[in-house]
Amino acid sequence: MTIECVPVGNKVVLRVSGRMDAESASQFEPECESCIAKGFTTLVVDLGDVTYISSMGLRSFVTVAKKLKESGGSLRVCRATGLVRQVFEITRLTQIFPLHETVESALAEG
């Protein structure tokens, strides 16, 4: 799994690609924390190239969303497709961070 961070104004887009399984998901949380430490309070996670997400990946998303919510920020998820989208919808994690179709719509929200 690879993660690329692209700052866009006062927000940051994290482009994730590959499988977000138990092993690789552990990279995601520190990457988000590093962005939060740099002062970004809105994180947009682009999951367009993610083919699989495990429970560990989902847990990381919930943890980061909670941290951002506490600091007045938000986590936005976009371009999730196939199994990844299905898992987000079935688990109803979308009640914490709604899914967006594009990076632009995620950045434009709020």
Partner 1 sequence: MAPILIRNAFQDPFICKRFGKRYVQNAREIVIHPSIQSGDVARFALALLPVLLFLAALRALDSYKLVSLRTVLASLASGAAAAALCFVINTFLFQIFPGAQDQYARFGAPVVEECAKAIFWIFLISTARVAFMADSAICGFAVGAGFALVENISYLHLLHDQGVGTWILRGLGTAIMHGGVAALGATISIYLLESRQWRGIRLFAPGLLAAMVLHSLFNQSLKFPLLSLLAAVVGVPVILLLVFYLSERSLRRWLGGKMDRDIEILNMIGSTRFQQTRVGAYLMSLQEAFPPELRGDMLSLLQLTIELSVRAKGALLIREAGLEVAPDPEVEGIFAELKYLQKSIGPTGMMAIRPLLSQTPRDLWEMHRLANGLE
Is 87 in contact with 56 (CB distance < 8 Å)?
Answer: no
Q: What distance in Å separates the CA atoms of residue 19 and residue 25, rounded to the nearest whole number?
A: 9
Residue placing its CB nearer to partner 1 in the complex, 40 or 97: 97
Indicate whether 105 belongs to the interface with partner 1 (CB under 8 A).
no
Q: What distance in Å separates the CA atoms of residue 49 and residue 78, rounded to the nearest whole number?
A: 11
Of 37, 72, 92, 110, which lies in the binding site for partner 1, with binding defined by CB under 8 A? 92
Is 76 in contact with 106 (CB distance < 8 Å)?
Answer: yes
Residue placing its CB nearer to partner 1 in the complex, 55 or 71: 55
Binding site for partner 1 (CB under 8 A): 22, 52-56, 58-59, 62-63, 65-66, 82-83, 86-87, 90-93, 95-96
